[in-house]
Structure 1
Amino acid sequence: MKSFLTAILLLAVSTTFSQKINFENLKQTTDSLAAGLVKENEPGLSVGIVYEGRPVLNAHYGLMNLDDELKTSGSTAYNLASVSKHITALGILLLEAEGKLNLENKLGTHLPDLPQKYQQVTINELLHHTAGIPSTDNLRLFAGIGLDSPWTLADELELLKSYSQLNFEPGTDYLYSNGGYSLLAAVIEAASGQDFGDFFRKRVFEPLKLGATAYNIPGKTIKDRAEGYTPAGDKYQNALTGADSVPGGSNFYFCMDDMLAWMNLFLQDNSLYHPQISGMIRPSFRLIKGDSIPYSFGLQVKAYRGVPAIYHSGGTPGFASYMMLFPEHQLGISILTNNEKINVVKMTHQLVDQILKEFVIDEIPVQRIATSLPPDKLKKWTGSYRMKDGMILKILHEEEKLILDLSQGQRFELHPEAETNFFIQEFDAQIAFLEKPLKLNLIQGKNIQTGDYVEPRELIKPSPAPHELVGSYHHKALDVTYLLIEKDGELFVQLPGTFKKYLNFDTTGLSPVAGDVFNTDRLGIIEFLRNDRNEISGFRFNDVGRLRNIEFHKI
């Protein structure tokens, strides 16, 4: 037995050492992938790869400026967009090391003029998107403020002060927020006594001999800055934006030469700032109820095809970015582009699949086997369940089967695996029922959404008549008014022009769910509010991604 175990161990060791990083034909592969995305006279991209402390690829394609026909190069500066977040997080950790702040400090310690709800949030919660701070990009969308409008950190803070609501109680949930990182930028300025850009130039970029820039300051020129572009038919137009003057969650400008050096900071144990970086890449933050999250100081920490990885993507008008690190292999890959529509994540993964082809593994799908249950075991789960966002899921019993009815013609059979567990064949989702109290969990991968059973009498409440609903609805903090109209017997909410500009729709239709709750075809659940006289007084969008519970009042 001992010799058998020894043989197994030797086999494992020899297999490990026989596996190799594959850089064969790397440049040709990169050229081929880039050729499918960029022509010589189009907005460009840069690809950088480091391995064991040295660059193995620094390749550039297309143009940094279409008007002047300037080619991209290693010194072309791109907007990192949300890849910037981990740099802001590093700044916070440097200030903590200097004793100028503590991660558990309440926000009010450094920014006492914020609304009371925001003052109680901790710096650590901001870093991990668990503070409940609304995302300001979504606030601007709903307020009708275009991303090409001049916008500064002061504007960002004023918008948050005006809105003053939280998406949820701090520490109870995880929801990505650009607004939270704008507040971190303000904390850095308050704690350091320096402008955000000056702080990073003196504390980070100059010691590392990097030419990076913290953010665009109107009237000043960023050396070798690429112009950002968006496709317009078969041409490209300059993606004019005033939002690149807001630091914190976005807008660091890096060239690929700098990016290669930057990635090595996270891959080398003897690098500058190692004490801070080592903490950033080991997720330790947990929600109040104990759940862990896959986010750590501005970085996603999660395996890619079985290989431990650290990564973050970014997108902003005119630019897209991605950085992916594999510390166990001392490998880093980054792609930066000034064409916002290029899928930099997909291209990065294609390169990773080649370079780490002896290490990546395909996830083996769970083989789910249906069993049979008697009718009484199925019928006990029938009924309606209200999800957290207000959506109603109906569970029906038809022809000895359980059916999930999502409304609007979306119906799926629930196949039993056990008395309480069911799966859907059409897509990777499962439903687990719980008794006492009766509820269900909708499971999609690691995402679990809970729905509570709703008594039938609550669902037979009549919906308001259209004439009760039509009218103008105002949001005071966002200073915007929405119209709810009736057209050909159907109800619609008319949305600000920002929706048309960035999402290509400017209305959302309503269909009744139960009582004052309606489903929209674009923005999830909308729930109408009533005053003490039982009159319609407003409505609330329950959950629109990075914003929750946005209330408008009827005028």
Structure 2
Amino acid sequence: MKHLIKFILIYIFIANNLSAQTNSNAEKKIDSLFSNYNSKTAGVAVGIVKDGKLIYKKGYGTANLEYDIPITPKTIFNVGSVSKQFTTFSIYLLERQGKISLNDDVRKYIPELPVYEKTITIKHLCSHTSGLKDQWALLTLAGWRMDDVITPEQVMKIATKQKELNFLPGSQFKYSNTGFSLLAEIVKRVSGKSFGEFAKENIFNPLGMENTLIYDDNEKIVKNRAYSYGNENGLYSKRNLNSSSVGPTNVYTTVEDLSKWTANFENPTVGDVDFINHFNERTSLDNGEPAILAVSDGETIYHAKGQFMRNYKGLNVYNHTGSDAGFKSYLGRFQDNKLSIILLSNDESFASYKSGMAIAEFYLSDKFKKRAPKTEPEKKVEEKPKYISTTNLKDFVGQFENTELSSVFNVKVIDGKLAMTHNRLSDVVLTEVEKDKFTGLITFSVEVSFQRNKKNEITGLSITNFGATNVKFIKLK
């Protein structure tokens, strides 16, 4: 018996020693990964959660370059689209409380939305399958800059004026921030509290997330917050963020608080095991097929309630990145391995997903499966003949209006090139890629297609970007 006890104690000692050695090696690799960050750069806060405990937390670089304030694990960042999982979690809490159904018509709560050909449900909003045009995509076409003051009220006004969808609800997956703004509005109207108050009472406070808030007032002072930066040719500049739009973004938090959020998925305090399992289920289209973001390295990336899920090198992972102004974030949960990785950055060029998966290799390399080398047959790429325009650019000149956006573009020929001008935007130079079709940049890349009548006269144009398809502008003159 004594020998058995001695053996067990030796085994525990060796196991603990090996674990400590593994963690130490991983921490050195993390230091090396972020060695370029210092007191003169923006940076990143890192949190590693194992078995529900924050085993590593550290800040690299500077939270405020004007006052030389370093990043620490207590620094507060905007996490961008990582916010979406808190929005959907709030909706699922309301469902659990019996106050809503995921199959409810969204117009039951937001009656000012147009009546569409097919009903948009709350489930559609949660799963990026509503067909609603993206709010940022629309705002830019309405003449807004991304550093303008943008409030939930303004987002609601522009969203509820759109009479056309990108596609029939439930028929496709297409990322839409608008859906999450509407979800936040539903939480507000159903609970009788602001979305921030609801999240604080039902999620943040119960989990002890004392330094987390929904930033719904762009003038609110937040102590210990980071400011975000871009870097061009080694020179940093501010990336101002004045938006108070909530739902798709604007959760402000720390790596310490996010560790408590990830721990709740393993040992629930808010919700229970069944609730968490329900929340983690992948979402689907109306025909039952899964909602798929993409296929990468032969692995399918599914959507699941404000998160994406995939089997990465043999291990299941739930993750999402965030990007707002110069803020970048990554939150990844290898739930079966009880490992979570949290990265919060104020550096616009920070490669959040790549860094997150690099850190995963530091801790899980012995568990990852090697991918088989790709053996795809070589494809012959047929070069398309270069398009040679025979169009008279003056044919396109005119004034074009979209009343739903209260937006007017003037199309002109400037210095021999076709350009679109707007009272609130820089001039947009258009490049013709085929007959009556041009490309350009209105904050985001756009495709501009002109329409003609039977007399071959230009009568209008439509603009398509990453989140809005065929936004129509009618020619006025």
TM-score exceeds 0.5? yes
Check if 1:506 corresponds to 2:428: yes
- Correspondences of 1:138-287 after superposition (within 5 Å): 138-211=137-210, 212-243=212-243, 245-266=244-265, 268-274=266-272, 275-287=274-286
1:469 aligns with 396
Larger radius of gyration: 1
The corresponding residue for 2:325 is 317
Corresponding residue for 1:433?
Answer: none
Q: 1:470 & 1:133 partners in 2: Cα distance?
A: 30
Q: Distance in 1 between matches of 2:139 and 2:225?
A: 26
Q: How does 1:49-88 map to 2 (within 5 A)?
A: 49-88=48-87
Offset at 1:347? 1.4
Given that 1:484 and 1:494 are in contact with CA atoms closer than 8 Å, whether structure 2 keeps it comes out as yes
**TM-score where L is the length of structure 2:** 0.85
Native 8 Å contact 2:76 2:253 kept in 1: yes
Q: Secondary structure at the match of 2:213?
A: coil
Structure 1 unaligned regions, length at least 5: 1-18, 371-400, 410-461
- Describe how 1:531-550 pairs up with structure 2 within 5 A: 531=453, 534-541=456-463, 543-550=464-471
Rounded to whole Å, the distance in 1 between the matches of 2:394 and 2:250 is 47
Give the superposition deviation at 1:106: 0.6
Q: How does 1:317-466 map to 2 (within 5 A)?
A: 317-369=325-377, 404-408=382-386, 465-466=392-393
Cα deviation, 1:92-137, whole Å, max 9, x if unaligned, reads: 0000011111001011111112222399311100111000111111
Contact 2:313 2:368 in 1 (8 A): yes
Change in Cα spacing, 1:207 to 1:521, as seen in structure 2 (3 Å) is closer
What is the CA-CA distance between 1:20 and the residue it aligns to? 8.7
Write the mapping of 1:1-150 to structure 2, written as runs, cut at 5 A.
Answer: 22-36=22-36, 38-117=37-116, 120-150=119-149
C-alpha spacing 1:219/1:24, structure 2 compared with 1 (3 Å): closer
For residue 227 of structure 1, report the CA deviation from its aligned partner. 1.7
Counterpart in the other structure of 1:529: 451
Q: Please tell me whether the aligned partners of residues 108 and 118 of structure 1 are also in contact (alpha carbons under 8 angstroms).
A: no
Q: CA deviation at 1:325?
A: 0.7
Q: Deviations over 1:267-286 (max 9, x none)?
A: x1444323332212221423
Deviations 1:158-196 (A, max 9, x none): 111233321111011111011111011101101111111
Q: Give the deviation of 1:510 after TM superposition.
A: 1.1
The Cα of 1:263 is off from its aligned counterpart by 1.2
User: What is the one-letter code of the residue matched to 2:136?
Assistant: D
142-151 or 153-162, which deviates more? 142-151
**Whole-Å separation in 2 of the counterparts to 1:137 and 1:478:** 12
Q: Secondary structure at the match of 1:31?
A: helix
CA offset digits 1:133-157 (Å, max 9, x no partner): 1111111222221122222111110
Q: CA deviation at 1:216?
A: 4.3
Letter in 2 for 1:151: I
- Change beyond 3 A, Cα 1:318–1:369: closer
Distance 1:465 1:129 in 2: 41
Question: 1:345: how far off?
Answer: 1.6
The one-letter code of the counterpart of 1:508 is L
Alpha-carbon contact 1:131-1:170 (below 8 Å) kept: yes
Structure-1 separation of matches of 2:144 and 2:249: 18
- 1:492 equivalenced with 2:418 (yes/no): yes
Q: What is the deviation of 1:519? A: 4.6
CA RMSD in angstroms comes to 2.7
CA distance in 1, matches of 2:411, 2:19: 61
Q: Distance in 2 between matches of 1:104 and 1:246?
A: 25
- CA drift of 1:230 comes to 2.3
Q: Given the superposition, is the C-alpha separation of residues 94 and 139 from structure 1 closer, same or farther in structure 2, using an over 3 Å criterion? A: same
Query: Per-residue deviation at 1:360?
Result: 2.0
TM-score by length of 1: 0.74
Q: Deviations over 1:183-237 (max 9, x none)?
A: 1110110111111111111111111111210114244322322122222543322
Give the distance between the partners of 1:498 and 1:229, measured in 2 at CA. Answer: 24
8 Å CA contact retained: 1:111, 1:119: no
One-letter amino acid matched to 2:400: Y
CA contact (8 A) 1:133 1:179 kept: yes
- Counterpart AA for 1:480: S
User: CA 1:70–1:369 in structure 2 vs 1: closer, same or farther (change >3 Å)?
Assistant: closer
- The answer on whether the counterparts of 1:497 and 1:506 sit within 8 Å (CA) in structure 2 is no
Query: Take 1:23 and 1:236, find their aligned partners in 2: how far apart are those partners?
Result: 34
- How many angstroms apart in 1 are the aligned matches of 2:50 and 2:178? 35
Change beyond 3 A, Cα 1:525–1:148: closer
Report the count of equivalent residues: 443
Q: Secondary structure at the match of 1:309?
A: strand
CA deviation after TM superposition for structure 1 residue 365, in Å: 3.6
Give the Cα separation in 2 of the matches to 1:218 and 1:519. Answer: 37
Query: How has the CA–CA distance of structure 1 residues 479 and 521 changed in structure 2, closer, same or farther, with 3 Å as cutoff?
Result: closer
Q: Gaps spanning 5+ residues in structure 2: where?
A: 1-17, 293-301
